[in-house]
Amino acid sequence: MVGVLREGLISSNQKNHANYVLLTLDRDTPAWGRFRVFEMLKSTTDDIPDDLLQWLPNANIRTGEPTKVEDPLIARDAWSNSLWIGHDYELGGLLTSNYLKYDLYHQRLSENERALSGLRERDFFFGLINKISYRFDFGHLWLEPRWKSEYRRQSRDLISADERTELAEIGGFVLGFPLLSHTTLLSGLEMTFLNDMKRDSNDFNGLVWALQLANISDYLGYKVTTHTGMKIDRRQPRGEDAVIINQIFISIYAGLQ
C-alpha cells in the first residue's frame, strides 16, 4: 500500500506532510501458529507539536501525577522506518507469544538545525516481548503459571533525551475456581525483577498477591462485568527498604454484545 498524508494548521502556518509505503502480513497456520508482520517506510516533514498530558509515576510506589510531555518533533524532517513482528502459538494448554518492535528515525536536517531542535542524526526504539503460559485443569479448578520477559532499548526516553535500556522479568500464576455459572473466584501471585541498565537507582524487585471475585450478568440488554477484591503490593527498590501497599478495589464494566 502507498499513502499520502497532508495536514495543515492555517492559524500558525504549520504542516504535517507524509508519504509512506505500508506492508502487512497475517498468516495463521495449524502447525506453526499465527505470524503477523507490519512494515512502514515513511518520509515526513512535521512541525505540528502534539503535546500530551501523561500520567507518570513519581518516587513513591503506585502513585504519580499528570505531567505535560512536550512533543520533541522527532520527525520534523526525517525518514522513518517502523517494523513490528508477532508470533502466537497455542498447543493444548500451552500458549506462547513473541513480539518485536523496531523504529528508526534518520534526520535530514543539518547539524546546526538538529542542534537547535535538540535532535540526534538518528533515533531508535527497540522492544522485545516474550510470553509463555500453560493451563492445568483439575476438575473445576484450573491453574495457569505464566512468565513474561520485556526488553526495551531506546535512544530517548518519554520525558528526556537520555538513552534507556531495561529488562523486566515477570513470573507468577493464576488460580481460578467457578463458584456459580457466571461467578469465578481468582487468586494470583506475580513477581517482577526490573533491571535498568543505565540507571541502577531504577532497579527494583516486586511481589504482588491478589484475590478477585468476577461476576458476569445481563441487565437491560447490557453485559455487566463486576470485579471486586483485594491486592497486596510489595516493592523493594535497589538499596532501599521495601514498601507495601494494600488495596481493595471494585470495578464495573457494561457493554453490548
Same domain, 139 and 33: no
> Block means of pLDDT (10 residues each) for the chain, length 257 residues?
90 90 96 96 90 68 70 89 98 96 94 84 95 95 97 85 90 94 94 90 91 90 91 90 91 84
Closest CA to 204 of 27, 29, 60: 60
Q: What pLDDT, on the 0 to 100 scale, is given for residue 207?
A: 95
Identify whether residues 63 and 146 lie together within a single domain.
no
Q: Does 18 share its domain with 73?
A: yes
Query: Distance between CA atoms of 235 and 245, rounded to whole angstroms?
Result: 9
Return the SS3 of 115: helix
The pTM for the full model equals: 0.84
Q: Last residue of some domain: 130, 159, 181? A: 130
Last residue of a domain, one of 130, 154, 171: 130
Instruction: Give 130-156 pLDDT, tens digit per residue.
Output: 999 999 999 999 999 999 999 999 998
Write out the three cell numbers for 73. Answer: 518533533
- Domain ranges, residue 105: 1-130
Which residues lie closer than 8 Å to 219 by C-beta, 6 or more apart?
A: 254
* Grid cell for residue 194: 526490573
Q: Which residue, 99, 130, 161, sits at the end of a domain?
A: 130
Who contacts 212 (Cβ-Cβ below 8 Å, separation ≥6)? 185, 186, 187, 227, 228, 229
Kindly state whether residues 117 and 153 are assigned to the same domain.
Answer: no
188, 257, 181, 250: CA torsion to nearest 10: 40
